[in-house]
Structure formats: structure tokens, C-alpha cells
Structure 1
Amino acid sequence: MIEVYSTNITKKKHAKSVLETLRTEFPEYMISLDLSDCDKILRVENPQGTVDKETVKNLVNNLGFDIAELEDVPLFADLQDSFNT
């Protein structure tokens, strides 16, 4: 499962700290942070099941940063199907 979050992390040194903390807590997760994106996207994937969303959010918040879960956006094909029904 993959979860995607927006954050207010803007500096590389802060990103490194957040990533280290999350990777220590969840060594099996694949985690990345895109500082070039306007939403400073944190992507968390657990290839073995669901992501522990509450712990991820708490860890990031405890480091002093805001984090918000991004809603799923339907693909264009899904939108097209909804217009045809």
C-alpha cells in the first residue's frame, strides 16, 4: 500500500532528519520526500501491507512539521466512465 502526504518541509537537512526517523521506525517501508514539488510530497510505501498512517503522522509532527494526507484523485479514465453512465 502507498500513502502520499503533503508537508511543510522545505530544507534538505530537515528532510534528511525526517527520512532517517521514518526509516528507522519502518525499515521495511520505501519512503521518499520530494522537496521540489509545491506540496513537499512525502511518499510512504509498505510493500507488505498497509502503512501505519497514524505513526507516520505523529513522527513527522513530533519533529515539528505539518503533514496532511492527500486524497485519492481519480484517473482521467475513471472520470470519463462516470460521464458515460
Structure 2
Amino acid sequence: APTIAYTWIGILTATTFVFAGLMREQVCIYMCPWPRIQAALTDEHALNVTYRYDRAEPRMSVKKANAAKAVGQPAGQCVDCDQC
């Protein structure tokens, strides 16, 4: 392949690494249009994925929850996603 093809592949690889690898938070805050689009598309009837304290407490891992359910103790509805 010509040298210019390798040059462009190198440039695109470097910019992808910089934007996605090193500056991902800044890219999401300043360049991503999704928050503005989401604000325009949602209303009071839209479904929101949020943490519900009343459903997930007491939270425990899946293995512990299964053991607790086996002896009749409440285990919450945590799916062990580690987001909390």
C-alpha cells in the first residue's frame, strides 16, 4: 500500500486513542450530543433506569442472596452489577 495510506491509518489510530482512551470524559461532556437529545426526548412518562433504595436493600451478592433466600431471609433485588 502507498505510504499515504499508512500515514492516514496512523493518524486515525492516534486520534481514536487520544479521544477514546485519554480524553473520554471530556469528549463525553463537551462533544457528545446525547444529553441534549435525551432532554428533548424525555417527559414525565418516560422510563428512567435509576437505583431504587426500597427494592435493593439489603443488597448482597448473588451467591449470598441465594443462600439468604434458601433460609427465608430477605435479600433485596440486587443483580450484583457493582454500580453502587
Which TM bucket (shorter chain)? under 0.3
Query: If the length of structure 2 is used for normalisation, what is the TM-score?
Result: 0.22
Rg larger for: 2
Q: Could you say which structure has the higher strand fraction?
A: 1
Query: If the length of structure 1 is used for normalisation, what is the TM-score?
Result: 0.22
